[in-house]
Amino acid sequence: MEKEQIELYLQELNDELHRTNVKGEVCLYGGAVMCLVYDARPSTKDVDAIFKPAREIREAAKAIAEKHNLREDWINDAVKGFVVEHPQKIFLNLPNLKVFVPEPDYLLAMKAIASRVDAPDKDDIRFLIDLLEMKTPKQVFEVLEKYYPRQQIKPATQFFIEELFEQ
């Protein structure tokens, strides 16, 4: 999904919620934020989010999926296992849908803790490190430890971050 498509689907999600007289909230994560907020990549395969009311938003998302021939889980909450309390800001304030995004330091911590070292995640992590003007792995680890307990940071994550600064 490209930026314009995600924006369209979020607007249509608002419209579906309006049709059923529901007010909803969505906080976006991952590739969707990298596309929408930072223009750091052209597309993402799905929209990772936490949303409420969950049942109503799932139903509205299903209608959008049918309309646009998308996978039913085009917007999904599989990311919830990595989410901890963090600051958010409003990205879109639509009549029936408020869309939030995390601050960039939290997004960096979350992407690093997930430890997927495939090309999009690696590029996203590099982008966020540059955006936050970090110069050392220590700065990244300080952000990670701000949100996640030290024991939750896998050695693979530590090696991955250190390797990024060696390149």
Say yes or no to pLDDT of 82 above 90: no
Interhelix angle 155-166/137-147, rounded to 10 degrees, is 150
Q: What percent of the chain has pLDDT over 90?
A: 84
Say yes or no to pLDDT of 85 above 90: yes
Q: Which of 17-21, 72-76, 101-105, 155-159 has the lowest mean pLDDT?
A: 155-159
3-state SS track over the chain: CEHHHHHHHHHHHHHHHHHCCCCEEEEEEHHHHHHHCCCCCCECCCEEEEEECHHHHHHHHHHHHHHHCCCCCCEECHHHHHCCCCCEEEEEECCCEEEEEECHHHHHHHHHHHCCCCHHHHHHHHHHHHHCCCCCHHHHHHHHHHHCCHHHCCHHHHHHHHHHHHC
Say yes or no to pLDDT of 59 above 90: yes
**Mean pLDDT within 7-14:** 98
Model confidence at 117, pLDDT cuts 50, 70, 90, reads: low
Higher pLDDT, 89 or 155: 89
Say yes or no to pLDDT of 23 above 80: yes
